[in-house]
A and B are shown apart, each in its own frame.
Chain A
Amino acid sequence: DTGVSQNPRHKITKRGQNVTFRCDPISEHNRLYWYRQTLGQGPEFLTYFQNEAQLEKSRLLSDRFSAERPKGSFSTLEIQRTEQGDSAMYLCASTRAGRGWTGGAYNGYTFGSGTRLTVV
């Protein structure tokens, strides 16, 4: 297993275009998280999945954002009608949580290398 993989590494897009990012978590990890990080700040939570179920979404996730994890394996994050304020590093992380556990990442996170989005 090569860890958490994110593609693409960089994306430059024009304002108003749609973009989609992909995250492949560690195979035995049932939880997958998406974060956004802007320059000089720590990552901010966007959403997370336990298997294929999206269990929580941040208020940061406007209706232009949608995330899926259709088979409980890889996940996609789509941003529609991108705005310059969407420019950020989008990070994916995964962890393994036990059945019924509803707390945070009790075994800690493994992060991918991120996708850097620039909206021009």
Chain B
Amino acid sequence: KQEVTQIPAALSVPEGENLVLNCSFTDSAIYNLQWFRQDPGKGLTSLLLIQSSQREQTSGRLNASLDKSSGRSTLYIAASQPGDSATYLCAVSGSTGGFKTIFGAGTRLFVKA
């Protein structure tokens, strides 16, 4: 059974810091991994999607890496800003029959001005 763990559960940093959010998953038979952002009381906004054949994806100040064999992904945020404050969720999607997209519980990020 696939399990997704995100560490840390919460993080508070001063503005301008570079930071890394971690995601690990127990079953390496994934098709892709997706990072989402969620603001309080809102839906999920997709940030980056990494297919299993890829090692990383970049969008602006965000960079996500994937090491499928070790079951790990990291989301790197450069030069953090107060507007980055949100919960970041990692989700892995399976590659074999039926539904297998599993979410982690998220990392709650607070960037202090």
Taking Cβ atoms with an 8 Å cutoff, the residues of A that contact B are 4, 6, 33, 35, 40-45, 48, 55-56, 89, 91, 93, 102-114, 116
Contacts and interface: CB of A to CB of B under 8 A. Distances in A.
B103 interface: yes
Contacts of B94: 103-104
Contacts of B103: 35, 42-44
Contact of B96 (A35, A45, A103, A112): A103
* Residues of B contacting A: mostly: strand
B65 interface: no
Given A40-B105, A108-B49, A109-B34, A55 B98 contact: yes
B70 interface: no
Interface of B: 4, 31-32, 34, 36, 41-46, 49, 51, 89, 91, 93-106
A45 B99 contact: yes
Given A48-B99, A103-B95, A110 B46 contact: yes
B93 A42 contact: no
Contacts of B97: 102-103
21 contacts: A35-B103, A41-B105, A42-B89, A42-B103, A43-B89, A56-B99, A102-B97, A103-B94, A103-B95, A104-B31, A104-B94, A104-B95, A104-B100, A105-B101, A106-B51, A108-B34, A109-B101, A111-B36, A111-B43, A113-B43, A114-B43
Given A109-B46, A111-B45, A116-B41, A104 B104 contact: no
A112 B93 CA distance: 19
Contacts of B105: 40-42
Quick one: which of A44, A48, A55, A109 has the most chain B CB within 10 A?
Answer: A109
